[in-house]
Structure formats: structure tokens, C-alpha cells
């Protein structure tokens, strides 16, 4: 079974609306990261939140982490058509020295102009 | 701009051919990774490296092999390509723990 599972699998919103994506994981982590992927190309790192942090902001992005529920959420505020992409969460497992990331199943976000 | 480069971007090749997918980074990162991704699906780790002369297999079994003779270079080789190898291959690097990855643009491989 997957370490990271995201929901919803797909999300369609209008420009200007907020988009929220959720990620759940199974084992203890050192940090959790969010990435964006446009049209099957390489992934772009968005934000990293450590296991001892609860919330982090970067521009229009807000990430929360609840280690007791083993879940995280990514909020994109005031979405734009350019935000259309797939979004993946990835977890770095606790105690690992290699910084291996386990990726979730992804959420496909479509922002309609 | 990408600081990690993958070539070729697209490759269509016949069954049984040997291929090498190139990955180079200019950031001096010790840790490098290869992931495999089918369209619309999650990424699966197939190989990683801590540094020069260090390589490990990832969580997804793969018939490919890798080498790390120089810090900046982490090529992936398939000795005999099969249609089941058709996928996108993504290379990434990281400076270490608690840092994000930088990804290349990927190589989309089709074996016919």
C-alpha cells in the first residue's frame, strides 16, 4: 500500500478560488514536501515542512502538517490558470539517512479561466 | 532554468537494444535519484546514490543499472530494452537531509 495518498484525485475550480489538497501517510516522517508537475514534465519543489512544524507559508501556498493524524494539506489561495498542474506530496521517512522521498498518488488541479 | 539535465528528452527504440539515459547536475549535490513514472501515476524510486561510487536499488524493482563515477553524472542503463520498460524516467538530486529535490525534465522512453 502507498505511503502517501492524496485526495481528491482531481479538482476543478475557477480562477480566483482557493484549492485545497490533502495527503495522508502511514509511517513516521522527518519531513513532508509538496511538488508540482506540469504536463508530465519534471517536478518542481514547492515547500518543505519538518515534522516539528505545524504550518508553513510560501507566497500563495499554505501547508499544514498534523503528525498525530499523519496528514498534511496544501492550500493554494487566489488560484490562477497557471496553477493548473499535478501536485504531489512526498515524505522523507524518519531515521533515513539517504533523504529518500516516497511520493503520493497526486492531485490533478485544473483552474478554469 | 534547470540545473539538472536529462538527455534524451524522448527516445523510441526497438526491443533488445541497449540504452543509456543521461543525467547530469551542476550543483555539486551528493545525493542523486532515479524515479520511474507512468502517465498520471505516482513516482517510484528505482535507484539512488549517496555519492561517488555509491549506488543502491530503490523500492521498485528495475532491470536497469546505474553508475556514479563522478559527482555530477548519474547515468541509467538498460542492457536489453523491452516494451515493459516504456515509461518516463526522472532524475533528481539533493544536497542532503531536509532539503528538497531538484528534478530534471525527464526522459520519455518508448520501446517498440
B chain contacts of residue A102, beta-carbon cutoff 8 Å: 45, 59
Judged by CB atoms closer than 8 Å, whether chains meet at A100 and B58 is answered as yes
A chain contacts of residue B40, beta-carbon cutoff 8 Å: 86, 106, 108
Q: A71-99: per-residue pLDDT in tens?
A: 999 999 999 999 999 999 999 987 666 67
| B94, B104, B108 ranked by CB distance to A99: nearest | B94
Identify which of B26, B83, B84, B29 has the alpha carbon closest to the alpha carbon of residue B60.
Answer: B84
As a whole number of angstroms, the distance between CA B51 and CA A80 comes to 40
As a whole number of angstroms, the distance between CA A25 and CA A47 comes to 17
Q: A32-76: per-residue pLDDT in tens?
A: 999 999 987 889 999 999 999 999 999 999 999 999 999 999 999
Amino acid at each position: 500500500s502507498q505511503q502517501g495518498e492524496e485526495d481528491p484525485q482531481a479538482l476543478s475550480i475557477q480562477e480566483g478560488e482557493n484549492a485545497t489538497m490533502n495527503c495522508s501517510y502511514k509511517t513516521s516522517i522527518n519531513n513532508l514536501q509538496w511538488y508540482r508537475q506540469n504536463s508530465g514534465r519534471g517536478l518542481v519543489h514547492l515547500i518543505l515542512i519538518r515534522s516539528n512544524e505545524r504550518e508553513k507559508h510560501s507566497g500563495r501556498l499554505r501547508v499544514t502538517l498534523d503528525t498525530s493524524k499523519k496528514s498534511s494539506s496544501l492550500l493554494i489561495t487566489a488560484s490562477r490558470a497557471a496553477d493548473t498542474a499535478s501536485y504531489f506530496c512526498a515524505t522523507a521517512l524518519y531515521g533515513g539517512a539517504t533523504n529518500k522521498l516516497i511520493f503520493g498518488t497526486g492531485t490533478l488541479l485544473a483552474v478554469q479561466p | 532554468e534547470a540545473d539538472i539535465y536529462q538527455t534524451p528528452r524522448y527516445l523510441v527504440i526497438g526491443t533488445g537494444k541497449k540504452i543509456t539515459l543521461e543525467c547530469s547536475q551542476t550543483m555539486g549535490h551528493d545525493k542523486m535519484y532515479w524515479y520511474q513514472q507512468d502517465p498520471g501515476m505516482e513516482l517510484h524510486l528505482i535507484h539512488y546514490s549517496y555519492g561517488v561510487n555509491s549506488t543502491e536499488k530503490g523500492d521498485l524493482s528495475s532491470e536497469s543499472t546505474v553508475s556514479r563515477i563522478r559527482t555530477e553524472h548519474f547515468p541509467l542503463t538498460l542492457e536489453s530494452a523491452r516494451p515493459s520498460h516504456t515509461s518516463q524516467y526522472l532524475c533528481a538530486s539533493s544536497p542532503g537531509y531536509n532539503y528538497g529535490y531538484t528534478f530534471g525534465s525527464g526522459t520519455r522512453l518508448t520501446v517498440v
